[in-house]
Structure formats: structure tokens, C-alpha cells
Chain A
Amino acid sequence: MGFLLGFFLKNGIHSRRTIWMTILALVPVGCSLLLWLVKPYLEREGVDISMLFPQMSFFLFLHFLLPIMSVFIGTAIIGDEVEERTLPYLLVRPVPRRTIIVAKTLAGSVTVGLILLVSLGLTYTIMSIDGGFKGWISDVPRLLRSMGVLILGLLVYVPLFGFLGGTIKRPVLAGLLFTFGWENTVGMFPGNVKLITVVHYLHVLFPKMQGIQLRSARSALLELVLPSKQISAATSIIVLILLAAVFIGLMISLLYTKEYRLEQS
């Protein structure tokens, strides 16, 4: 298992996908640099850029980078080996298929996780650099909590999209539709329907943004008519871990039941 994990991590480092994801992860770093450069103008308007970090982490990391990277890495867990036609080298070895799946899922999650966390850390550092070390350390708990939520999100999304990658023909498209359609739309609905999204449980855990009203007046009114069931952080963590286990289980069962017909050379 240890060698397989290392092997897949090495594979991941050498894939073009990882390079593209790293470039994508530089977007928030670039944005924060830009904000830091225009800081004097923003301050004149009464905007403190260190206060913008929660919004950036919420929108750019939780709602954009996490799902999009999970889609690309998750759908590639089995898909890569099938497309590259290297799966027979792994399947005709005395290794349980579940080990292969778990190792690939972990390797993918670690790769994306590192990229996301480094990017988040850099973004945070740039936005709090003016406060010196004291300023930097003051909001570290928020940073760590955001990182934790992103890791939990990865553990659910990566196997979910891994399962999609092994079952349907256009998994990337389906994954993008799921994240930016279902998750972002239903996740914002009033009432309890949002309980059937993954992102809702991540919202519960994610550090709250101060001074930002996410909901429109209409949705706030709807919330009054259709009140949401309040979920505790502990419940959210349990639900997310259960979901991760279910999706990993589904992926494993897929490799035991599904055959992969590789194109002949």
C-alpha cells in the first residue's frame, strides 16, 4: 500500500493535469497580490484587505478550486489508467483491487490537497502580511479551520467523482454540472432540500464570514417560510465521513464488478 501510494503520487506529479491545477491554484494568490498592490487605493475607500480573506477562501477555494480540482483528479482515478492503457500492469498483480483504488484516491487527494493548502496559505499570508507576525498569527485558527474543511471536502468529492469517472462516459462534464449546477444551486435553496448536497455540510463547518450577507432579501424571506434544519458541526463531520466511505466503497465495488476494455494498439 505504501509503495503504491508513493508510486501514484509520483505519477501525479508527472501529469499535465497537476501542472494545470497548480497554475489554477495560483489564481487566488495572484488576486491577493493584486489586492495588496492596490491596497492604498482600497484603504482610501475604507476597505481592509485582510478582511477580504474569508470571502476569498469561501468563494475561490470552497466554491471554485475545491470542486473543480476534485472533478479533474477524481474522474482520473480509474480513467487515467484506462485512457493511458496502463491498467493491466496493475490488475495482473497479486494486489487487491481495493488497495489500488484506495491508494489512487489517497494519492489524488494528497496532490490536490497540497496544491490547495499551499495556495490558501500563500493567499492568507499575502493578505495579512502588513500586520506582521502578530497580524498573521491572529487569524491562523480561521486558516486552519478552512484548510480542514477543504480536506474534508476533498475526501468526499474525489471518490464521488472517481465513482462517476468509472461509471459514465463524460464524467468531467457531469462532474462540473454537479458541482456548479446541483451543489451551487440546491445548496443555496431555503428549507431542508440543501441537506442533500455535500456543500451544505461544508458550509456548516467553514468559518463564518463577518459583515457579509450571502442571502438576498427574497431568500431570507423564503428562509422564514421554509426554515432550514440546523446541523451541528459534529453532525456535518460525521455525514461527510460517511459520504466519503460510501463513495470509496462504490469505487471499490466498481473495480470488482466492472471490466475495462482497453483499446488495442
Chain B
Amino acid sequence: MVGLDRTCRGSLTLHRRFEGEGQTHGGCAVNIVVKNLSKWYGQVIGVNNLDFTIGPGVTGFLGPNGSGKTTLLRLLTGQLKPSKGELSIEGVHVWNNHKILHDVGYCPEVDAFWNYLTGWDFVFSLMRIHGIEAGEARERATKAIKTMDMEEAKDKRIGGYSKGMRQRIKMAQAIAHDPTVLFLDEPLNGMDPLGRRSTIDMVKQMGKEGKTVVVSSHVLHEVEEMTDTILLITHGQLLAEGNIYEIRRLIDTHPLQVTIRCDNVNVLTAKLLEYEDVKSVEFDRGRSQLTVETNRPDDFHMRLPKIALENDVKIHSLWSPDENLEAVFDYLVR
């Protein structure tokens, strides 16, 4: 089932929406509803006319720096008041409604702390501020710190933490009260590989447990590892939403790049350039490979074996570097 909502920028289709397989909220309860949401600061638009829903599972907000992801997360966590439109979590409006925040966790992007506190004090204090009794807060802080693999450093002052440790302790305070809705703003920023891995695994696990996890990032492969359900945001607007592969399929005009390694680069290049849909061919004789950009990927794939056979070209390997999220993202925001 595909529903399209297209706004064209030149020849590019910007905003597509679809429901169906791969959608976290396909058939599930919708936790977050955003309707015609806009936020502007004077003349500056933070986010513009956003309209989407998010259900249980992991959803990625993707976009370059300054695209409006952080503004959107601040709106979703009730830190900012919408200029227009509305947003709700579990059917309840967020702005000026502290009660809804009982089940919300938030890991801000800013690298800011009360630096004199130890990691444990930081998480424990925020649990107490959250309204959790001292005994339970102690347990939860200890558990969250263990989950984030910060046990060894928990008694050191945050001021002496490395960037990765600061990210992890920030994550610990976001998950310690076991929220059902979790907002993570660039959570992997500055984390060491081990921390990244455990955070990614944790986020995926939370998604599997039916929690609603929203992760924002400008580093696409990171989000790709956590989820394939994304919202692409740029200039405060929703560019696309849904499963990245579904989006990819919908982008019928997206020039697909295919890299081919073969034994006769010159002949294959010449033959491929005879077709209108082939926009460009770059070849590298030394590595015996060429990269083709085509507007009609399906036609290209059907045609290629025939060309190879007729011209006695032996194809060793073929792959599309485009198939990852980064390529789609680059294409969409270009």
C-alpha cells in the first residue's frame, strides 16, 4: 500500500509517504502524532509544516546539521512551543504538560553537565528529580550505568570524562527510568567503537521490546544500523519518510550508480553509452572497473547481461554503491 504526497523540487520528488511493510506503525498503535507542525523564531523557520506519525520501534530522524532535527526533538519533548500545528504523545499534548514526561526519556545533543557531579550522582540526581524514591533511584541509576558500561568511571567527576564517556552517561540518564518513549539526539556522537556498538544494540533491543525510540543523526550509516525506518528532514521540511528501501524504490528518477568489474572496460563503456538512460560512465582501466549512472535501473539490469554476451565481455562483479542510506540521503538533499 503506497500513498504519495509529492512536492516537486525541479525534477526531484521530495516528500513521499507510504505505509506498509517495514513501517513501525503499520498496524501498530501510534505513539507520536505530529500534525501541520511548524516552528519559527522570528524570520527563521525551524521546522515547517511537518505531518507524520511514529509508532513503537526505532525511527531515525535524518538530516544534515541545521536541518531542524534538534528543533523537532525539542518540540517533541515539550521544550519548545509549536508556532503552528500540534503534536501529541499517547494522545496528550506535550507543551506545558509535565505529566506526559513520566514515560519520556531524552538524551540531548548538547555536551553539557554539572561537571562537579560524578557520573553516578548525575544519573541518581536526575532520577530523584524525576520523582523516583531514593532507594529505587539508586537501583535504577546503578542498572543504567551498568547497561552503558560506565561502572568503572561512575565515581569519577563528569568534568574528567572523555567525550565518549560523557555521551554514555548522558544516555544512562535517558534510559534509567525505563521510559516507553525515548528521544536520542545524536546519541553516538563522539562515542568509541565499543560504546557505539553497545548503544546501537541497546537501541535496537528497546525497539524490539515495543518501545518508541526516536534517534536523530546526521551520520547516516549509524542510523542505518539501528533502523530502516526513517524521516528525512532538511531545511525544516520532511523530505521523505518510511522504510529506506521503499523510499529507494519510489525514487524512480533517482540515478542509480552501478559499479561493474569486467575484463573489457572500453567495449562495455562504449556500448553502455549508446543508451539514453545512461547518464554517465566513469572508468578505471587500472582496476578494470566502470561506474555507470542510470536513470532507469530496472531497464539497465535487464539489458546488461545481453550487452555482455553480445560483446563477449566477462563481468566479474557488479554492485551498487547507491544502495545504502547515505546515497539516497545525498541524492535527496542535493
Contact = CB atoms under 8 A, between A and B. Distances in A.
A96 interface: yes
Contacts of A64: none
A203 interface: no
Interface string B155-186: 00000000000000000010000000000000
Interface string A88-109: 1111111111000000000000
Given A97-B98, A261-B41, A265-B110, A91 B125 contact: no
Contacts of B113: 86
Interface string B112-129: 111010000000011011
Interface string B75-116: 001111100000000000000101111101010111111101
B102 A92 contact: no
Given A95-B98, A264-B110, A259 B130 contact: no
A97 B70 CA distance: 21
B111 A265 contact: yes
A133 interface: no
B321 interface: no
Contacts of B305: none
Most B CB atoms within 10 A — which of A3, A256, A260? A3
B80 A259 contact: yes
Nearest to A256: B96
B112 to A, nearest CB: 4
B114 A94 contact: no
B60 to A, nearest CB: 19
Contacts of A262: 110, 112
B131 interface: yes
Nearest to A91: B79
B182 to A, nearest CB: 11
Contacts of A256: 96
Contacts of A11: 114
A84 B80 CA distance: 18
A93 B130 contact: yes
Interface string B173-204: 10000000000000000000000000000000
Given A96-B98, A259-B80, A264-B70, A90 B129 contact: yes
Most A CB atoms within 10 A — which of B74, B99, B102? B74
Most A CB atoms within 10 A — which of B70, B80, B109, B114? B114
Interface in A57-89: 84-86, 88-89
Given A91-B79, A94-B102, A3 B129 contact: yes
Contacts of B81: 259
Nearest to B79: A91
Contacts of B130: 93-95
B108 A89 contact: yes
Given A92-B78, A256-B96, A259-B81, A84 B116 contact: no
A122 interface: no
Contacts of B104: 92
Interface in B50-76: 70, 74
16 contacts: A3-B128, A7-B125, A85-B112, A88-B74, A88-B77, A92-B104, A92-B106, A93-B126, A93-B129, A94-B99, A95-B130, A96-B98, A260-B79, A263-B110, A265-B110, A265-B111
Interface of A: 3-4, 7, 11, 14, 84-86, 88-97, 256, 259-265
Given A256-B96, A262-B112, 20 more contacts: A3-B128, A4-B129, A84-B112, A85-B110, A86-B112, A88-B74, A88-B106, A92-B77, A92-B79, A92-B104, A92-B106, A92-B108, A93-B129, A94-B99, A94-B131, A95-B129, A96-B98, A261-B80, A264-B109, A265-B110
